[in-house]
Structure 1
Amino acid sequence: MPDDPPSAIGNLADLEEGQIALSRYLVQRDGGLYLALSRLEATADLLDFVNRVIAMGLYFRELDYARLVSLLYDAPASRDDPTRTAADEVFLAVDIAKFRPERRSLYKEFRVDRGEAVYLFEPVYLEATAAHGPDGQGSDQPLVSGRSAAPETRTVLDFDEFIANAWAKGVRFGIDVAMVREGFELDKPERRVVARSRPFVRGKDAEIIEQAPGLHRNNAPRRLLGDRVDLRQFETRYPQVAAGIRLVKKTPRTLGVDGRDVSGAELPAPLPKDFELARLAGPGTRVSHEKDGEYLLASVSGFLNIDRRTNQFSVADKIVSHEGVSARTTGDLLLTGEVYEQHGEIQEKRVVTCRSITAFADVFGNIVSTGGVVWLKHNLVGGGASNDDGDIVVEGLASGATLIAPHGCVKLKRADNCVIVAREVVVERATQCTILADQLHADLSEGCAVAGKTIHVRMARCRREVDNVFLVQVPDLSGDDAQVVALQQHCAAQEKVLGSHRARIDALRGEKDVVSYLALAGKLRGREASLSSEQQAGWRRLSALVAPILRTLSQLGEEVRELEAEASASGVELEEALAAREQACRAIACTIDRVDGETRIHALLVRRADTPLTDLPGKELKLRLRNPDAASKKLFAGSAGSFSWTYQTPPRRPA
């Protein structure tokens, strides 16, 4: 093979067979072929030219393979770049020459698998006539190594020819130049990986970075004083945030880098995931575009909630929970918010301390409210609900539960075997319940023990041979009457002392000298009279005479004012005692519209010396109500009919 094969580049005007005309963006100079970047409109144009060269049986001589790959598969500078000049020409190859058939036959196929191209290197031979033809171009007959009788000579493969052969066979990217050149020198057959694809580099998904501490719930046990811990409670379950605080920051996605297959085909990197921060902004939050990034802010102060299904952030003045209350999820809860919504079950032995709460699922644990409303949309089973200063409403079934609302109303649809203590109880159906209330309104009472001041039951019937017991609480007025009598006697004594003081004052003011002194003193103060020098001496004698009496009048006047104030306070206290007595006796009544089973009704005298019924545990309260003492007065006992009774206030004991 000659050192410098003839050029296959021709002029378009007199182009011969086997020659190729250069495209407008290729320039031939003494040093070789150059690519004018300013003329190259698209990379596809250069790729099309290279394909035409190879398809015509030509190849690039002394090709800058790395430059060609970079021009074809890396993004070249734009031809419209104003900084481009005529000097922006890059070397491509020395020339374009014909790839002779006898030389092409020396090159084998590639095995392409899993992004790698493998080639079998082995010693190659050319027939002598093909290696040194008389015209320097070899014989015209197709000669194949090992098939001709002509003598063979050892030859070597050419890198430029190898590139042309690889291109024709579909291997156009990632050729390892050093590996190929080493393969040319091998003396025995050996397969080597000569080209590798360039894998794509994955980008980075857009993500959020937390900005405020404590956005997530802390499931560590709550720490107490003295380095102790409460294993029943978690440290933080419902984080609170202030208005304007940065919650999270969005980190934009980073695009990946596309790869390239050995065939030159693009291996696109997967598009990283992105999201709109506005889609994460729920009620009480807003998106803020700032110089250093995009932030999600809390627009109001309140409790932060992150929806696990939608990842939406929201801030509200109430706590909303969907996970329930259990030893695994929350432990016991001590909540500071005004409103709490629980959509999951409150499991057995769990305690929720809060103000207003709405439970949408079953409650098996205990709810302790300090005020507001306890609203149970479903059932209360085996647990309890208490409200220090508010109402309790159970829309489902209350069974085996304890409900306490000393200053509020307990409303139930159905209660079975419950202990209910409240100011007022309204129940549609109560079965074997123990109820203590100032007012009770029940549609149906079955085998219940009830104590109250105002009792109204539409129907009372027994339950499995357990009768109804109704105790109408009547006040013990003996103490009130004694207090009223004592206050009346005290007021009478004060009036008697006041009368004595007033009589003495009148007597002293009626003395002749005092009358004269007071009359003249009034005229002098009003400037209705004036005294001569002789009269002034008499005035001084009169003043000295009545001075002791005037001091006594002053003391008596002060005592009278004090006694009048005490008498007024005693009178108010007496009126309050009388009003309290009347209030204690007011609205005491019991009405059973229909009795349909064993029913007992007693008037229970509530003595102040006795332990208050509200202080008795549930079992003791039930026993106390079902076993009235001697102080009780039977009003009714029977299994049919109706009953109506109103307490009449007894007359006061005279003082």
Structure 2
Amino acid sequence: MAQQSSIENQAAVALPAYLLRLKDGIFVDLSTFPVGGGFEAFIDRLFGEGARFKGLDYRLLMDLLYDYDAILDVHGIGAKLKLAEGVVVFSPKRKTLYKGVRIDSQGKRAEYFFEPVEIETITQVPVYGPPDADGVAPIVGMTSKEELKPTKLNMDEFVADMWLKGVHFGIDIQKVASVIASGEMGRMTVAVQLDATEGIDAEIEEASEVLHRDNSPKILANGKADLRKFQNRFPQIATDARLLKKKPRVLGKPGYKVGGEIIEPEISKDLDLHPLAGPGTRVEKQDGFEFIVSSRDGFLSLDVDSNNISVTEKIENKGGISIKTTGDLSLSGDEFVEHGEVQEGRSVEGKNMTFRSDVYGDIVSQGGFILLEINLSSGSAKSIGGDVTSNGRAFNSIIEAWEGNVSVKYAEACLIKGNSVVIERAVNCEIIAENIQIDRAEGCGIAGRKVKIHSSNSCRGKQTVISMLVPDSAKLEAQIDQIGQAIAECKKIIEVKEQGLALIKSDAEFAKYLTLATNVKQGIVKLTLEHQENWQKMVSKFAKPYSAMERLNAEKQEQLDRILAFQQEQTYLLGAREKNAVGVHCEIGEVIGDTLVRSRLALNGLSEFYKHSVSDLKVLLREQGVQSERIFTNDEGSLDWNFELPKMVDSP
């Protein structure tokens, strides 16, 4: 409700409800202050109607107009703050004391020329009559006299006058008050604009120490440092772990020109965490902040190209393998994908590994696969118990999967070893496997049990040599022969035993006894009490030859049992001999260059090649063999050959 002063010299100005005229002055009620506007219009009306504040708190006035939030932060919404001692009339006569103000074209500053000021005053002076007898002129009346007297400007008046002349912000109260008090002359800057305060862009900060890769040298079990390996190149992350935290943006504060026009700050940049959250992560609000947290256990992956963070079951790296980036790697995860190049001399040990750039180092898989999508050059790829696949070019390298499969698109000057090998084109390579399939073989040394080549050619004067690994049956045949001899010995012993039995049975009385004993035993003949005594006498008479006969029969049966066991073992060995020879086959669809196919005894299958060095294998696989071992030698034609076991010589 508007209030009105009745005090003399106070201006009769209606105050809005949020301005309280109390005993101690004019107060602002912050609880009802019009945040949306209206206070500036009141100031315009107040000064425009010839009133001004007395004892004005200029700092509070500026904050009410331009920084209301700062007042609330300090005092709270329920505070009542003193704005001035009162509202008084700004007399027109004193208004004339204030000169014009110069505001630059951009509204950055206002200048005022300070000089001595005088104000017109009217004083009453006496009017004298004629002097009396004593010569003293009596005062016969009073008259008014106008004159100019020095005066000083007033700070509250200065604020009101500057407002009316367009200076609504930024008066340097202390400076102006000092100049007024000292009477200093000259043109001075009395108000300056407040530049906008820049805000702070939203930022991302790490929320976990596990984000840091530990590139310090790995400490071995013996306490020594391995300078080729880093301590923890690929950090492992637990489910629900905080990874990144968003620091919210801080908006800038506006500035103001001396005319009160707002100077907007640049809007601080915000950011959205969602595009940064890759697979295995999610955005979650915790403790008033946004975080990227892991949604599963796995390995941390920072993708510079897509600019996101992921937690994957497999380890992915895009920086390549080198002494500067990773050192040698010994991976604990089941799957690893490398997008960068593997430097020469570096090694990577893991399980299932995929390389999408060139590899110049050494790759070792324990029980998993190796996939080379580009090139392998002067390096190696070895899988112990798994497979190796090369979809690019392999040059001057070693590819090994003794217990698995090897698949190569193009290989040159390589040593390739595996259980099964499939190559589209092989040039000047050494290849060893149980099963080998090559589309084009040029100048290669090949050893295997089953070899199928679409076309065979020489390369730079070097022929293709194919060694068919045929079983060495000598040991089995020796065992079979020994068993045959053992059976023959058993038969000889049986013959001797049968001769002894025939001699015993040649006694007519003993033969008659044997017949009677058989009939008694079978119940054909029933003995009476009278016959029992005679029968016992007969048994006693022939006890010795009967015992000898039983012994000979037992010894004969023992030899028969031995023969049966020997025959079973002999059958097994014969089957093993036949089985070893099954599947030894060489097929060449077209021979278009110098090609040699030979047989080679494989004493222990492929294992005999394990112990040889690379240089030894190069020599071994180029051996021509003796004439009897050569199956095919020509520079044209084709071949379809199956190994056949030679017939065994019957044992005597």
Q: TM-score, normalised by structure 1?
A: 0.74
- Counterpart in the other structure of 1:138: none
- Counterpart in the other structure of 1:548: none
8 Å CA contact 2:410–2:424 kept in 1: the answer is yes
- Counterpart in the other structure of 2:471: 475
Give the Cα separation in 2 of the matches to 1:575 and 1:204.
87
8 Å CA contact 2:90–2:157 kept in 1: the answer is no
- Counterpart in the other structure of 1:95: 87
**Equivalent residues in 2 for 1:82-161, closer than 5 Å:** 90-98=82-90, 100=92, 103-107=95-99, 109=101, 117=109, 119=111, 122=114, 124-127=115-118, 130-133=119-122, 153-161=149-157
Give the Cα separation in 2 of the matches to 1:500 and 1:290.
99
> 2:439 is matched with which residue: 436, 443, 453?
443
Residue 197 of structure 2 aligns with an amino acid whose one-letter code is: F
**Paired residue secondary structure (2:403):** strand
Residue 165 of structure 1 aligns with an amino acid whose one-letter code is: D
In the TM superposition, residue 110 of structure 1 has moved relative to its aligned partner by: 5.3
- Counterpart in the other structure of 1:261: 256
Alpha-carbon distance change, 580 to 326 in structure 1, aligned in 2, over 3 angstroms? farther
- Counterpart in the other structure of 1:526: none
> 1:376 is matched with which residue: 369, 372, 378?
372
- Counterpart in the other structure of 2:458: 462
- Counterpart in the other structure of 1:210: 207
Alpha-carbon distance change, 422 to 31 in structure 1, aligned in 2, over 3 angstroms? closer
> How many pairs are equivalent?
570
- Give the CA RMSD over aligned residues: 4.5
**Equivalent residues in 2 for 1:532-611, closer than 5 Å:** 577-607=573-603
In the TM superposition, residue 363 of structure 1 has moved relative to its aligned partner by: 2.0
| Structure 1 unmatched runs, 5+ | 11-19, 136-149, 502-506, 520-552
Deviations 1:129-149 (A, max 9, x none): x332469xxxxxxxxxxxxxx
Deviations 1:95-128 (A, max 9, x none): 2323536645544535669997465674x2234x
- Counterpart in the other structure of 1:147: none
8 Å CA contact 2:315–2:336 kept in 1: the answer is yes
Give the Cα separation in 1 of the matches to 2:70 and 2:433.
90
Residue 220 of structure 1 aligns with an amino acid whose one-letter code is: S
Alpha-carbon distance change, 261 to 234 in structure 1, aligned in 2, over 3 angstroms? same
Further displaced range: 64-73 or 289-298: 289-298
**Paired residue secondary structure (2:637):** strand
Deviations 1:80-101 (A, max 9, x none): xxx999x968553422323536
In the TM superposition, residue 232 of structure 1 has moved relative to its aligned partner by: 1.9
- Counterpart in the other structure of 1:524: none
Deviations 1:216-261 (A, max 9, x none): 322222222344222222222222223x342336455264462442
Question: Does residue 173 in structure 1 map to residue 166 in structure 2?
Answer: no
Question: Does residue 63 in structure 1 map to residue 52 in structure 2?
Answer: no
8 Å CA contact 2:256–2:262 kept in 1: the answer is yes
- Counterpart in the other structure of 2:632: 636
Alpha-carbon distance change, 216 to 56 in structure 1, aligned in 2, over 3 angstroms? same
8 Å CA contact 1:68–1:92 kept in 2: the answer is no
8 Å CA contact 1:115–1:261 kept in 2: the answer is no
- Counterpart in the other structure of 1:9: 11
In the TM superposition, residue 156 of structure 1 has moved relative to its aligned partner by: 2.2
Further displaced range: 622-631 or 70-79: 70-79
**Paired residue secondary structure (1:197):** coil
**Paired residue secondary structure (2:210):** coil
8 Å CA contact 2:365–2:383 kept in 1: the answer is yes
8 Å CA contact 2:402–2:417 kept in 1: the answer is yes
Give the Cα separation in 1 of the matches to 2:104 and 2:467.
98
**Paired residue secondary structure (2:38):** helix
Give the Cα separation in 2 of the matches to 1:388 and 1:377.
20
8 Å CA contact 1:602–1:636 kept in 2: the answer is yes
Alpha-carbon distance change, 371 to 27 in structure 1, aligned in 2, over 3 angstroms? closer
In the TM superposition, residue 350 of structure 1 has moved relative to its aligned partner by: 2.0
Question: Does residue 385 in structure 1 map to residue 381 in structure 2?
Answer: yes
- Counterpart in the other structure of 1:330: 326
In the TM superposition, residue 160 of structure 1 has moved relative to its aligned partner by: 0.9
8 Å CA contact 1:36–1:90 kept in 2: the answer is no
- Counterpart in the other structure of 1:74: 67
Question: Does residue 363 in structure 1 map to residue 359 in structure 2?
Answer: yes
Alpha-carbon distance change, 444 to 28 in structure 1, aligned in 2, over 3 angstroms? closer
> 1:409 is matched with which residue: 390, 405, 411?
405
> 2:337 is matched with which residue: 333, 337, 341?
341
Question: Does residue 248 in structure 1 map to residue 243 in structure 2?
Answer: yes
Alpha-carbon distance change, 227 to 294 in structure 1, aligned in 2, over 3 angstroms? same
Deviations 1:40-92 (A, max 9, x none): 5445211011123344555333323233223223337999xxx999x968553
Q: TM-score, normalised by structure 2?
A: 0.74
Deviations 1:416-450 (A, max 9, x none): 22211122221122112121222221121112121
In the TM superposition, residue 647 of structure 1 has moved relative to its aligned partner by: 1.0
Alpha-carbon distance change, 131 to 418 in structure 1, aligned in 2, over 3 angstroms? same
The structure with more radius of gyration: 2
8 Å CA contact 2:447–2:469 kept in 1: the answer is yes
In the TM superposition, residue 479 of structure 1 has moved relative to its aligned partner by: 2.1
Give the Cα separation in 1 of the matches to 2:44 and 2:566.
120
Residue 306 of structure 1 aligns with an amino acid whose one-letter code is: L
Give the Cα separation in 2 of the matches to 1:76 and 1:476.
98
Give the Cα separation in 2 of the matches to 1:612 and 1:498.
44
Give the Cα separation in 1 of the matches to 2:9 and 2:69.
28
| Structure 2 unmatched runs, 5+ | 1-6, 125-145, 498-503, 505-512, 522-549
Further displaced range: 409-418 or 32-41: 32-41
Alpha-carbon distance change, 223 to 188 in structure 1, aligned in 2, over 3 angstroms? same
- Counterpart in the other structure of 1:299: 295
8 Å CA contact 1:304–1:315 kept in 2: the answer is yes
- Counterpart in the other structure of 1:51: 44
- Counterpart in the other structure of 1:394: 390
Residue 131 of structure 1 aligns with an amino acid whose one-letter code is: E
Give the Cα separation in 2 of the matches to 1:495 and 1:64.
135
8 Å CA contact 2:10–2:86 kept in 1: the answer is no
Give the Cα separation in 1 of the matches to 2:316 and 2:64.
60
Percent identical = 29
- Counterpart in the other structure of 1:184: 180
Residue 621 of structure 2 aligns with an amino acid whose one-letter code is: L
